[in-house]
Structure 1
Amino acid sequence: MRYGSVCSGVEPTAVPRAFQRPFLKWAGGKFSLLNDLDKYIPAGLRLIEPFVGGGSIFLNSDKHANFLLADVNADLVNLYQMLAVAPAAVIKSAKFMFDRMNTAEDFDAIKAEFNAQSLDAVERAAAFLYLNRHCFNGLMRYNLKNQFNVGFGKYPSPYFPEEEITAFAGMSHNCVFMNAGFRRTIALAGEGDVVYCDPPYEPLPGTNGFTSYAAGGFNWEEQVALVECCVAARQRGAKIVISNSTAPRIIELYEQYGFELHLVTGRRSISSKGSTRESAKDLIATL
């Protein structure tokens, strides 16, 4: 693999901070990379995240006063919005489910209601939290009909993250939450903004990547469009940071558009089988 201008990412390590954990499990979450990412995400008036996911980055930001947090997963955004306006109601509803509904039959019943679109906004937010913590590996996956389709995780006593939810709710008054794709979100970026993008990673050669956080997935054309949107935002005065895999064509794409590239040691696995899991390098691109 050719890395060209990729930096080694071996700068002296500062004393690790105590980071706030997100309350959701999230495939590709960046909690384990926060020490490294903090070096590359600059200060600014507002942090914009077009792929907010589990929220590890904004929850631990001490460099930004305001946040624009977006995701194409409408259920994720609804949960965040409901925790901003009615946290006690969401917690009460979710706690009831966590305390009394921990069988495969209970899980299937809640999933069926969730997919039938029969819940109000608070109930749906609570159900999303329940499904996230009770489903297999916390994988929030949807089929082409936009129905949640992950099975029961068989966990004996899923953790109810009330402390983490409270920390999230305490920050929410500085946040705007949007159910939107990256094009619409990044179009709002300009002078004084920092854009941090954590798209579904481009699969490494010989591996199968997970790209279906919402119906439709995230293909190569989307990777290219994301870079083009970020370059346009940089021309409007925003600063850009993107995380991705070290797939050769990702490196080539980012180099083509003038990004500075850095490697960090990821804690993600590149195989779904426990016996063959190994850590992989993550790429951080800045512009």
Structure 2
Amino acid sequence: MTVQKNPLVKPFLKWAGGKRQLLPEIRKYLPKNIGKTTYFEPFLGGGALLFELQPKTAIVNDKNKELINCYQVIKDSVEELIQALQNHKQNHSEEYYYHLRQLDRFKKKYNQLSNIEKAARIIYLNKTCYNGLFRVNSHGYFNVPFGRYKNPNILDEAVLRGVNDYLNQKSVTFLNRDFAEAVETAKKGDFVYFDPPYDPVSNTASFTGYDINGFNQEQQERLKKVVDDLTEKGCYVMLSNSATDFILDLYKDYKETIVVSATRSINSNALKRGKIDEVLVLNYVPKP
């Protein structure tokens, strides 16, 4: 039975590592029973796959508190969020951008903002900053410069309301935890999609600026252990990562490793945007 999907349910943020470009490949290898079980995504990011699949039951997570707040506000208070974004749109200028950007430097003032104001700030900065890049420095401060766009799409009411409609019609739970904790309730037959910060293709290519904690090879090895545990439980697991020697060796015991080419449009270095090899690791044999 085909599930009717709303085409307006799509990412409302531009996110480093977003999966829009990889979706056609991911769709080819999804398990067939995905609509009948719980969908887990422990590294949610921009939510491209969640919104593509629009599952009935989902438990999604991200370690970025600001990001999860945006999703929760769209679910609970979308009309108030739209009003706040309308105000940002009317006041948009380079001076206004930097005024909003620096708010997180003053914790007392920042903590006085409502969750709606915090979400509107992040969406506005994401839509108007250079290259749509969400990045924080070592202190956790948003530090991307102003983007000189002629007509930035600050407020997309149709998408925000579409996402709100989906989140309220289905059972979608948002978590702000470590990825291992986020999948503790996964059971046999559930589908888990891991999209962690990618292993850098070179020593200088690392781009983990949207997570001040970074995600090194030790973390990648910890993630592999979680994948192994979920496999033992009988969960269906798909993982995407860069096709580095380290990652290919780490998952060499998993027979289904598919190397695909994807376009990356977000990187702090313009020379590192473009086609890169990525790998999809499956713990199941996809059915034709």
Q: TM-score, normalised by structure 2?
A: 0.86
Residues 1:264 and 2:260 aligned together: yes
> Which residue of the partner structure matches residue 87 of structure 1?
78
Gap change, CA 1:227 and 1:130, over 3 Å in 2: same
| Equivalence map 1:224-243=2 (5 Å) | 224-243=221-240
Conservation of the 8 A alpha-carbon contact between 2:239 and 2:282:
yes
CA distance in 2, matches of 1:110, 1:161: 20
CA distance in 1, matches of 2:184, 2:86: 38
Conservation of the 8 A alpha-carbon contact between 1:271 and 1:278:
no
Q: 1:171 aligns with which of 166, 171, 177?
A: 166
Runs of 5+ consecutive residues of structure 2 not aligned to the other structure: 1-6, 284-288
Which structure 1 residue ranges, 4+ long, deviate > 3 Å from structure 2? 18-21, 269-278
Residue deviations 1:70-98 (CA, integer Å, cap 9, x gap): 00110000010011111100111012102
**1:275 Cα shift?**
5.8
Counterpart of 2:147, as a letter, is G
CA distance in 1, matches of 2:177, 2:188: 21
Counterpart of 2:64, as a letter, is N
Conservation of the 8 A alpha-carbon contact between 1:243 and 1:284:
yes
> Which residue of the partner structure matches residue 124 of structure 2?
130
Q: Which piece of structure 1 moves more, 217-226 or 166-175?
A: 166-175
Residue deviations 1:91-137 (CA, integer Å, cap 9, x gap): 11012102222x22101111122443231111101111111111111
| Equivalence map 1:1-287=2 (5 Å) | 21-42=10-31, 43=34, 44-61=36-53, 64-101=55-92, 103-116=93-106, 117=110, 118-159=112-153, 160-173=155-168, 174-205=171-202, 207-256=204-253, 258-268=254-264, 274=270, 277-287=273-283
**1:276 Cα shift?**
6.7
Gap change, CA 1:277 and 1:84, over 3 Å in 2: closer
Aligned-partner SS, 1:68: strand
Gap change, CA 1:259 and 1:228, over 3 Å in 2: farther
**1:270 Cα shift?**
9.6
Runs of 5+ consecutive residues of structure 1 not aligned to the other structure: 1-17
Gap change, CA 1:202 and 1:22, over 3 Å in 2: same
Counterpart of 1:267, as a letter, is T
**Aligned residues between the structures:** 267
**1:241 Cα shift?**
0.4
Gap change, CA 1:112 and 1:274, over 3 Å in 2: closer
> What's the Cα RMSD here?
2.0
Q: TM-score, normalised by structure 1?
A: 0.87
CA distance in 1, matches of 2:67, 2:266: 25
Residue deviations 1:30-80 (CA, integer Å, cap 9, x gap): 011111101222214111111110011010105x32111100110000010
Counterpart of 1:33, as a letter, is L
CA distance in 1, matches of 2:84, 2:258: 43
